[in-house]
Structures are given as structure tokens and as C-alpha cells.
Structure 1
Amino acid sequence: MRHLTPKAITLLALVALILVAPLFFPSSFYYRVGTLMFINGLAVTGLVILIGYAGQISLGHAGFCGIGAYACALAPVHLGLPPVLAMLLGAVISGALAYLVGRPILRLKGHYLAVATLGFGILIFMVLSNESWLTGGPDGMQVEDLGLRALLKSVGISVPAAELWYWLSALVLLLGAALALNLHTSSTGRALRSLHDSEIAARTVGVDVAHFKLMAFVISAVYASVSGSLLAMMNKFVSPDIAGFLHSVQLVTMTVLGGAGSVFGAITGASILTALPQGLTIFHDYEHIVLGLIMMLVMIFLREGLVPSLIKRFSRRQG
């Protein structure tokens, strides 16, 4: 293990967890929970690039999830595209919109940037809610089936839908995590991380601050869009809630809770906040209070996030 790079260790840990977890699933419901973990994990991996690497905040990232989700609902109906190409179209639209919107709002800093991104997310939510002639409005709309299960059946392979989505979302998450980890160790990643420490210092050593901030915003938007597409295709239904403010806050909370500077940490945070509400149902009316208390305690005593803080404490004891 000492000869493995942090990137390899992270990917091996993810692969091990993905392969071992189904051994403890008593029913197909747990495959669905696992799929939701992976889909949320993909979205927060994009936020690691934006928040953890580049040090920028976004409270409207669910808007890009909504764009990806509705692309999978609308493109097959109006453009005749298969769901996979619809997902790619949603990612392109999200990236282009992030580029156009990011140029002016990324000049802002701190809470000004947070409010600007919040406004963008609310705008997307309002469009999806009010343009009923196109999006179905608050009632949402159906999403065409991916067709992968039928394709597998045609070659003699029968896989339950819940299991198929588990493995498919896990594969996409691993790909997204690998790309983010490669970015971290590249020259581009070093430039992004220099922004997190000090934009002034980064500019002094020749880093194009505006360019790299915009790059991080666009990449994270594409991650969120693909995440939204996967969620829509799995549920075969989409509503404007996917682009809502609460979803944006959940994504940021997952990222910060697990550790915004760590891909594995953010995915862990996404997994915890996706699975924990299922386990807290025993508290009935108090489950949200217990969940909030747990999050507060983690933020008070593990300020860098769950995974980075625990790794640091373990390293100190070993030393």
C-alpha cells in the first residue's frame, strides 16, 4: 500500500466498497439507495473541483442537475434523440450555460458569489416550474427508459432494474472520480488549488485567475448535469424539485460534511446524507432534528470534513 499513489488508493477503496456492499443488501431497495449514493456522489465530485480545488462556492448547482434531467425528458420527445445522446446534450448545454453565466458572476467573491449562484438556481427552477407547455410544470413529466435492460435481455442477460442501475451509476461515478483525481495532480489542478489559497498569490505567479475559476465552474456544471440525467432516467420521471434550492443546499452540505478538498471525502458525505435519513426513520418525527444534530457535531469537531479530519488524527497517532 505504501507504493500506491493517493489516487490509486482512493479508486481502489471505492471499487472495494462498490463490490462488497451488495453482499449485505437484503432487498432490492438497498440497491436503489446505493444508486442514489453514487448519483449524489457524482454531483459532489464536481463540487469538489469547484469548492475544494478552486475555492469557489455555488448555491445554485441543482439548476444544472435540472438541465441534465429535463434534457433526458425533452430531447427524446422533441428531437428524437436516444436517452444517452440526450444526456450528452444536457451536459453540453449545462457547460455552455455555465460558461456564459460564470463569466460575470465569478468576478464576485464570498457571499456575493453565493447569492449570485443562488439566483441562477432559482431562475432555472422557476423556468421549469412555470413553462408548463414544455416541462409539465410542477407536475413534472415522464422520462423515456434508457433501454439498456432490454438490450441486455436481447443477448440473453437478465438483470433486475435496481441492480442494473446500481452497477451503471457506480461505473459512471468511478469514471468521474478518476477524472477529478487526475485533474488534482495535473498542472491545471495545481493552478486551481492555488486559487483556493490566495487569488492574489496565484495571479502573482502567472495563473490566469478568471480562466481557471471559469473552468472549474464549467466542469462542475457538467458533473451536476450528468448526475441529474442519471437520476431522471432511473426514476423515469422528473419534476422541478430536482433544480430546487433545497437540492443545491444538500449537495453543498454533502461536499463540506465529507471534506470538500477530498474526492473520497465528498463521496462519503454524499453516501452518509443519502443513507442516514433511511436509518433515522426509527425516530419518526425527530429524524430531521437528529440529522441536523449529527451534522452540527461533525462540523464543530471535524472542521475540515469527516474524512480529511479523521485521516489527520489517525496520522498523528501513528506518528
Structure 2
Amino acid sequence: MEKAREVLVIGGNRYFGKRLIRRLLAAGDRVTVLNRGSAAPPAGARHLVADRDDENSLREALGSRTFDVVVDQVCYTPRQAALARRVFAGRTRRYVMTSTVEVYEYEDSPAALVPESAVDPRTVAVDLELPWDDPEFLDSHYGEGKRQAEAVLAADPAFPYVAVRVAHVLGGDDDFTGRLAHYADRIRTGAPIAVPLVNRPATYIHVEEIADFLAWAAGADFTGPVNAASHGLLSTEDLCEAVAARLPGGRVELRTVEVGEVSPLSFARSYGMDNTRAGRLGFTFGEVHQWLPKAVAETLGGGD
């Protein structure tokens, strides 16, 4: 009988993180969840309380524990990555970091989907002295923080890391982002939806699909960056059409703006990711247009 894997999930208390934990438990893994104690993990998982930004706190909580896999759901900065690399070197056989499509924020290629090679973390400059502890700075440098975090992990060839570059996630009745609700509010009332003058489509992934992907990546043996996105692109118009289908009597009015804030999930640059590598490694993605109506229904509920 195969021995159960020891898996540590850092963060993971909400949205696709909690779905990941349930999948790991269902697969027979022994799952430990580490967080600051703000919420208990799903039933069946063990719980460690520590501040992942405090190396002493993290080492004390971990003790002598080792893991087959670590899935880090909350690594946002190169400082956090550097600390994690120090602590988990020799303590795990596999380290999976959830990264983001935002690492490609400078790779605007509207004519083609962007492959992982467009951002090689081994060539990304790292600046640990930037104000990464400032929430406002971190919020406005989200993609850069993730890009540099990947670079820190990639700098040690012996560290077995994976960076899952996650597309924009939709679906679930617990979507805390409010992005689809933004569209529903405006369509329901006929209020204008602000979009950029040049409005590019993007790749997406369903909340259940990214949980499946992370669980699969935890058990695979590849390393390095990998894109996680469903097949197909969605435009702002596609999103509006799907939301309007749940709101009889609603009205869609797109209004272009040259400057100022635009609606969420409307982009002046391309955020299309090429998922070929994951497919070659053995993961089968769904089609975004097939699951979009379901995602909208889950998020908005009962036709609301």
C-alpha cells in the first residue's frame, strides 16, 4: 500500500485554496494547513499557527516536520520567497507556489497567447529593499511582487519549485472579489460599464478547475513556471452577455474612457496565456465558454 503524502498548505482558507485542501484530503493525503490562526482549516486537516513573515515563528511552528509537498498560496513578495526558501530547503521534495497571470503585465502580445518562456524568472532582477511591507505598494506592484518571488525560488537550482501562473478565476458562490457582481449591478440598473479605448480579451479558469490543477501539480514531477488557464478567451462583451442572461430586463452599456478607472476584468493589454506546457505534461483544461454560464449562475445565484 502506498504511503500517504505529507502535504503542507500555507494559507488556503478561502476560495480555491479550501477546495484544494478538500481534494488533497479526499485523495488520502495527510494535510497540514499553516496560517496565522484567523480561520480553522477544513475538517480532517491539521492546523499550525504561525506568521509566515516571521522566520522564527515559522520555524518554531514547523519544528522537525518534513513534507512531500508544500503548496504556498500566499507568497506575494521576494522577501517572503527568500524566507520560505531558507526554511523549506531540505524540508520538502516539492514546493508549489501559486503565482499569477499578472507576471506578464509587460508582455503585451494581442496576436498570440503568451507562453511561460516570455517571463523567465532566472533573468528577473530582485530588489529586496523595495517597500514590500507597505500594503499600498504591494497592491500596486502585485505582478512585480509575484515575478520577483518566482525569481528568488528559481535562483537556487536545487530548490524543487513550481510557479503556477493562475489566470483570472471565476465561479463559486464564495467569490469574494466582487468582479462579476460589479457587472450585475450595472446591468441591472443600466449604469454604464467603463472600459478602456482598446479593450483586450483574457484567459480565465473556473474555481473548481484551478483547484483540480493545483492538486494535480502537487503530485506531478515537473518544475518551473506553468500557465493554468482554460482554453479560449473572454472579452468584456462575453462577460456582460453571460451576466445579462441571468438578469432579464437588464441593459448593457459599455462606455470607453481614455483616463481613469475601468471596470474589473476589462484590460487595455492582452492577458492571454498559452496553456500548451500543462497540456503536454498531462493536464486537460476545459473550454471557458462552456463553463462561463455556470460560473455566473454560481456567483450571482438565483437569477440575481
Between the two structures, name the one with larger relative contact order (CA 8 Å, sep ≥ 6): 1
TM-score by length of 1: 0.25
TM-score by length of 2: 0.26
Structure with higher strand content = 2
